[in-house]
Amino acid sequence: MALTNFHEDITDDVQKHAPYGYTTKTNWDNARVRSLTVTLSSADILALNTTDIEIVPSVIGKVHIPIFSSIKLDFNSIAYASGSVVLLYYDNTTTGTYAISVSGAALIQSSVDQFGANYSPLSLDFALSLLENKPLVIGCSTAFVNGNSTMDVTIHYLSIDV
């Protein structure tokens, strides 16, 4: 089965089983897995503790639900030092709602090319209205220092109508 047909197959199956208590939800009718990749420069990585990087822009009337994140560190010549876990948040990393961990600090501090991935169990227990119209951003609480590598951050997510 092709991924593009995935949602249609689920919808058809749920509608067939409606007599058994299953119903379709209109806010999931247009949901499909999407992904965006952003390449962070070394300046972006060095400033992650003070400057959030928007990965998925806000969309009026939608909530983005992260499913899977991955990073690819393209090592240059100087490894990063210090730094903390890179996290994905709704809206901002100061007052926003935590969504998913993107990368451990050790992976970013590596002196060789690296790939890392993390999935979300989709256990967000917040009112969707609190997450509506919010971008997904990344940041960290402790600064990385020195490094000069770039990093690709990819987020796979659903956008649902609220």
| Beta-strand runs (E) in 14-162 | 34-40, 53-56, 62-74, 81-82, 86-90, 97-103, 114-119, 136-139, 144-145, 150-161
The residue extents of the domains of the chain are: 1-31, 33-161
Instruction: pLDDT tens for the chain, 162 residues: list them.
Output: 333 333 333 344 444 444 444 444 445 556 678 889 999 999 999 999 999 999 999 999 888 888 888 889 999 999 998 888 888 888 888 888 887 788 877 788 888 888 888 776 555 555 666 688 899 999 998 899 999 999 999 999 888 887
Predicted TM-score (pTM) of this structure: 0.75
| DSSP 8-state assignment for residue 60 | T
Stated as kind and residue range, the H or E segment containing 105 is helix 105-108
CATH number given to 33-161: 2.60.120
- Residue showing tokens 């659903």: 158
Q: Which residues, in sequence order, are bridge partners of residue 125?
A: none
Cβ 28 vs Cβ 128: under 8 Å? no
Kindly report the backbone phi and psi dihedral angles of residue 13, in degrees, each rounded to the nearest multiple of 5, phi listed first: -65, -45
* The predicted structure's pLDDT at residue 101: 81
Give the model's pLDDT for residue 20. Answer: 40
**CA dist., res. 162 & res. 146, Å (int):** 43
In this prediction, residue 30 carries a pLDDT of 61
